[in-house]
Structure 1
């Protein structure tokens, strides 16, 4: 399994993967918006490829943590997708771990997501609201609103209101 940075030549296959993995177009539209808006750094959009097949994709985009007069630069994970016939083989976990490593190297102290509460904690994600971080941009349960600390001490030092990039708004 080769985890590598997504290239423009991968876009069509990634779109097909997203459509299959999520049974719809919403995530593919989101990824297209994030690309067009320049809301991500190329190295933070990755594919998992084996035998010429793109089996998985993950994208991290720029996000903000608003704390009074301070805005902290953080990352948002999403979407993460694996072709249905390759799920439950550890591909998603490998993409998450490589993505977290790359996000830290790009200076992001925290990564946020809305996700399944039984999956993401295995990869270091915890409930964000338990750490003084809230979100009002979207209605989401405490269990699904999660954060992973990339820079030691960041969850102790950073608090406030999490904001996804505007490309996440008005989907569907």
Structure 2
């Protein structure tokens, strides 16, 4: 696969069922997963922190092969509130993993985030 054949675009509402299937496939064999990531994404898409420009899909031809979502959160500190972004979720179809699609999605999402004047993105992990 040629990384240049990937088309990254903003998620469209009709993409959601395919995104959910993609996320299920991507996390199906991940031992640390609770296999509910697609439900988190659905909740985040209807949350106050949802920013449509930061919900991106990766395509090769007409095949959805990857997805990334950044949502707005606030970090509260003694100095005040700091707007930032949280990465949840990043998923690549198993048969396309380790080919640069995830990295391309992260790079494109960071570019859009910078255009929206965000300076930080957090990645959280569940260590249960």
Normalised TM-score (structure 1)? 0.65
- Aligned 1:14-163 pairs, distance under 5 A: 14-23=19-28, 25-114=35-124
User: Which string of whole-angstrom CA distances, capped at 9 and with x for unpartnered residues, describes residues 45-64 of structure 1?
Assistant: 00000120010000000111
Q: Which runs of 5+ in 1 are unaligned?
A: 116-137, 141-172
Report the Cα offset of residue 65 of structure 1: 1.5
Larger Rg: 1
Q: Take 1:33 and 1:25, find their aligned partners in 2: how far apart are those partners?
A: 15
Q: Take 1:62 and 1:36, find their aligned partners in 2: how far apart are those partners?
A: 12
User: Which string of whole-angstrom CA distances, capped at 9 and with x for unpartnered residues, describes residues 80-139 of structure 1?
Assistant: 000000001100000000001111111111100025xxxxxxxxxxxxxxxxxxxxxx76
Segments of 4+ moved more than 4 angstroms: none
Normalised TM-score (structure 2)? 0.86
Q: Equivalent residue of 1:100, what SS? A: helix
Report the Cα offset of residue 66 of structure 1: 1.3
Q: Take 2:116 and 2:36, find their aligned partners in 1: how far apart are those partners?
A: 27
Where relative contact order (Cα < 8 A, 6+ residues apart) is larger, the structure is: 2
Q: Take 1:94 and 1:59, find their aligned partners in 2: how far apart are those partners?
A: 13
Q: Equivalent residue of 1:59, what SS? A: strand
Q: Take 2:49 and 2:76, find their aligned partners in 1: how far apart are those partners?
A: 17
Report the Cα offset of residue 38 of structure 1: 3.4
Q: Which runs of 5+ in 2 are unaligned?
A: 1-5, 29-33
